[in-house]
Amino acid sequence: MEKSLQKKYIPMTETTYYTLLSVIQARHGYAIMQFVSRITEERIKLGTGTLYTMVGRLTADKLIAIVENESGKKTYQITELGMELLWLETSRLESQLKDGKQVLEEKTHG
């Protein structure tokens, strides 16, 4: 993976992270918006402008690809490169959470 791409996406915005999660399974734009809203318990609601700007960037950077489907709607699916970045970001977030919990527990109980 190119270091420039890693530098561009790590740390990842929440909207990018959840969009990549949503296209682990091929989805069209409205389905992506629904998935993100549902999984975040409506904390994140993607607007169409935000979504399609981001999808364009993720497609251009080859993190997601347009895939064919029966309905004729444009659907998107994560690529190997996108999956690699998603795993890197998930690991980074796990480390951040672990560190935060450790410091908070020491402060609270120590």
Q: Give the pLDDT confidence of 77-88 residue by residue, as tens digits.
A: 999 999 999 999
> Can you tell me the distance from the alpha carbon of 67 to that of 25, in angstroms, rounded to the nearest whole number?
11
CATH topology for 3-109 is Arc Repressor Mutant, subunit A (1.10.10)
pLDDT (mean) for 19-30: 97
* pTM, two decimal places: 0.92
Are 23 and 85 in contact by the 8 Å Cβ rule? The answer is no
> Can you tell me the distance from the alpha carbon of 105 to that of 84, in angstroms, rounded to the nearest whole number?
32
pLDDT of 110 > 80? The answer is no
- Residue 41, pLDDT score: 97
Are 10 and 88 in contact by the 8 Å Cβ rule? The answer is yes
> Can you tell me the distance from the alpha carbon of 56 to that of 16, in angstroms, rounded to the nearest whole number?
12
Q: Residues 6 or more apart from 55 whose CB is under 8 A from it? A: 19, 29, 32, 64, 76
- Residue 109, pLDDT score: 85
> Can you tell me the distance from the alpha carbon of 18 to that of 45, in angstroms, rounded to the nearest whole number?
11
